[in-house]
Structure 1
Amino acid sequence: MRFGTFLPQGWRFDLVGIDPSEQWNTMRSLARRADAGPWESLWVYDHFHTTPVPSQEATHEAWTLMSAFAASTDRIRLGQMCTCMGYRNPAYLAKVAATVDHVSNGRLEMGIGGGWYEHEWRAYGYGFPEVPQRLRMLREGVEIMHQAWTTGTATLDGREYQVDGAIVQPLPVQSGGVPIWVAGGGEKVTLKIAAQYASYTNFAGSLEEWDRKDAALRAHCSTLGRDQSEIVRSSNFNTIVAPTEAEAHERLAAVKARLLPHLGQERADRAEREYLTSPAFGTPEQIVERLGEYAAHGMGYSIHYFPELAYDITGWELFEREVIPALS
């Protein structure tokens, strides 16, 4: 199994209490620490407002961070989980990504999806298209990026996007373009887009749900004549790890206490339940066992969000020492 780690950027109230003037230093320090560690990749979210409650707390923009991390690290790969297609013109996004790929010397990943955070869409003036339209935007946008990165130009007269000879030079450093991660488990459309264009998928769910989505992906690959083994399956996990279960619960209580003033009791209780039911909550041995079950069902890449990271890296370090070596 391959491993990625999310870095705090504020979106999940994970920079609360750190002065905004020091937040970039915190993120850069963690990025450099990840770069020197066993992680294959680091990730941020592509969002503008905090979740699940919009607030005045800082949320740093994903693609600006991509460029900054590219210049601040040497080895680790750089991704977004996931870029919302509707937030940027896809030809422009292809150009931005190609430039970041050069700054990073070929270490960029392109996480891409249809988007979902309605409040954020409307607040920034993007409206909030119905699901079919958002999925058309995703499909057409991925086609534009694929053209741009493989030929240096893109032309498409689509329902959602029209580009006419958009030049994207230089091409990305990576041969064939920036690897595309299509995020989302929609079985009829999203996974069909993944089957056509993606190097990676990213979806969540129980093992039963995982198997169903995997079967849908395989079916789309068969229809398109693509070898399904070319696509790496990945998933994201909320992660709290400690030497004992009691200590894991203590860590979770501290996270909940930080969230409570911002989320209120009901949402904080919901966040607590999400951690308690995560396969990546508990002791290293428990997490290794659960992730191993996902690996047996075809998951090749797991990406982990540590809510404490800006304040305490000991759980992160424990994961590095005991979970990654057991499953790599």
Structure 2
Amino acid sequence: MKLGLHLAQQTWPNGPAALGSDLARVARTADEAGFEYLSVMDHFFQISGYGPPEHEMLEAWTTLGFLAAHTERVKLLTLVTGVIYRHPGLLAKAATTLDVLSGGRAILGIGAGWNEEESRALGFRFPPMKERFEQLEDALRYVHQMWAEGDEPFTGTHVSAERLLNSPPPIQRPHPPIMIGGSGEKKTLRFVAQYGDICNLLPNADLPRKLEVLKQHCEDVGRDYSEITKTASLRLDTGENGEKTGQLLDELGRLSELGFSVATGWAHGVPDPAVLERFATEVIPAAEKL
């Protein structure tokens, strides 16, 4: 079992003026500790569960470029980009740029988007759910084509383009992995089977059922189910002094038995360096044995 560190909060004790140096230190420490993934939200306001909307929230893809410069091995991604926030051409170019400049460590995390509050607040159009999923499929088809050989035109339901030229191409071949976030059985998991490389499910979902649904979608589209990396989002809480480490490892073991190979989430206490040191010495070595 591998772990991913999700930087869900950026309201840290030293304030915005020190956020760059604090982020750089956390990223380097997470990289050296052995985390497999390092992710950020793609939101403009903080979301409930982590704090009020007024708390700090950095723009995701700019932040990933910064994190790439301060790490060497960890994979970098959004968890996950809302498709309504960027034209797929810009998104494909941003992910390609991150992959090139990080030496092949980018993952494209993407979903249909859900945060109507921040969208309307900043003037982004927030389409009905049906259209958001149409846009998601457009974007998935678009990035696959843009990352393939050639530069032919593209025609989707909501997006058309005359020439999908992408120079330089990404380092990872045939393309950077695509993580599709969400657990919707009719659309999202079908898109994972058809277009994705990684799924990301929430632990409060009926995980055995969701995996069975994904397996059936893979059979329906002729996809090898074993090719898809199964990840779950999880609060990585070891307690104030490590008293919850055993409980966390038990939960990781349960996920491993279900077929998940990665758990990614916010580590309670970050940016305290002692928290990440505990993961480096106690949690990550034990998780790797699961």
- Partners in 1 of 2:58 and 2:66 — Cα distance? 12
- Partners in 2 of 1:68 and 1:165 — Cα distance? 30
* Contact 2:30 2:276 (C-alpha < 8 Å) held by counterparts: no
- Partners in 2 of 1:315 and 1:285 — Cα distance? 15
- Partners in 1 of 2:17 and 2:184 — Cα distance? 40
Runs (5+) with no aligned partner, structure 1: 249-281
**Shift, 1:283, TM fit:** 2.0
Does residue 51 of structure 1 match 2:47?
yes
Residue 228 of structure 1 corresponds to which residue in structure 2? 225
Does residue 183 of structure 1 match 2:219?
no
Secondary structure at 1:212 match in 2: helix
One-letter amino acid matched to 2:102? S
One-letter amino acid matched to 1:190? T
Does residue 212 of structure 1 match 2:173?
no
Q: 2:33 aligns with which of 19, 27, 37?
A: 37
- Partners in 2 of 1:184 and 1:44 — Cα distance? 16
Measured on the aligned residues, the alpha-carbon RMSD in Å equals 1.8
**Shift, 1:154, TM fit:** 5.7
- Partners in 2 of 1:33 and 1:320 — Cα distance? 9
Runs (5+) with no aligned partner, structure 2: none
Residue 163 of structure 1 corresponds to which residue in structure 2? 161
Q: 2:22 aligns with which of 26, 32, 54?
A: 26
* Contact 1:91 1:154 (C-alpha < 8 Å) held by counterparts: no
* Contact 1:4 1:40 (C-alpha < 8 Å) held by counterparts: yes
**Shift, 1:103, TM fit:** 0.6
Secondary structure at 1:187 match in 2: coil
- Partners in 2 of 1:132 and 1:184 — Cα distance? 15
Residue 285 of structure 2 corresponds to which residue in structure 1? 325
Does residue 193 of structure 1 match 2:191?
yes
One-letter amino acid matched to 1:139? E
One-letter amino acid matched to 1:292? G
- Partners in 2 of 1:81 and 1:154 — Cα distance? 30
Secondary structure at 2:56 match in 1: coil
* Contact 1:8 1:27 (C-alpha < 8 Å) held by counterparts: no
Q: 2:263 aligns with which of 302, 322, 328?
A: 302
* Contact 1:242 1:318 (C-alpha < 8 Å) held by counterparts: no
**Shift, 1:9, TM fit:** 5.0
**Shift, 1:317, TM fit:** 2.2
**Shift, 1:7, TM fit:** 2.7
Residue 254 of structure 1 corresponds to which residue in structure 2? none
* Contact 1:182 1:194 (C-alpha < 8 Å) held by counterparts: yes
More helix by share: 1
Does residue 74 of structure 1 match 2:60?
no
**Shift, 1:144, TM fit:** 0.3
Length, aligned pairs only: 286
* Contact 2:199 2:231 (C-alpha < 8 Å) held by counterparts: yes
- Partners in 2 of 1:324 and 1:307 — Cα distance? 15
- Partners in 2 of 1:182 and 1:154 — Cα distance? 25
Q: CA separation of 1:220/1:164 partners in 2, compared to 1, >3 Å: closer, same or farther?
A: same
- Partners in 1 of 2:285 and 2:55 — Cα distance? 36
**Shift, 1:155, TM fit:** 3.0
Residue 245 of structure 2 corresponds to which residue in structure 1? 284
Residue 268 of structure 1 corresponds to which residue in structure 2? none
With normalisation by structure 1, the TM-score equals: 0.82
- Partners in 2 of 1:8 and 1:190 — Cα distance? 23
One-letter amino acid matched to 2:114? W
Residue 6 of structure 1 corresponds to which residue in structure 2? 6
* Contact 2:177 2:196 (C-alpha < 8 Å) held by counterparts: yes
**Shift, 1:38, TM fit:** 1.2
| Structure 1 ranges of 4+ moved more than 4 A | none
Q: CA separation of 1:5/1:239 partners in 2, compared to 1, >3 Å: closer, same or farther?
A: same
Which shows bigger deviation, 1-10 or 77-86? 1-10
Residue 143 of structure 1 corresponds to which residue in structure 2? 141
**Shift, 1:205, TM fit:** 3.1
**Shift, 1:101, TM fit:** 0.8
**Residue-by-residue CA offset, 1:17-42 (whole Å, 9 max, x unaligned):** 43312111111111111122211121
- Partners in 2 of 1:103 and 1:154 — Cα distance? 25
> What percentage of aligned pairs have identical amino acids?
33
- Partners in 2 of 1:163 and 1:188 — Cα distance? 28
Residue 117 of structure 2 corresponds to which residue in structure 1? 119
* Contact 2:98 2:106 (C-alpha < 8 Å) held by counterparts: yes
* Contact 1:43 1:79 (C-alpha < 8 Å) held by counterparts: yes
One-letter amino acid matched to 1:122? R
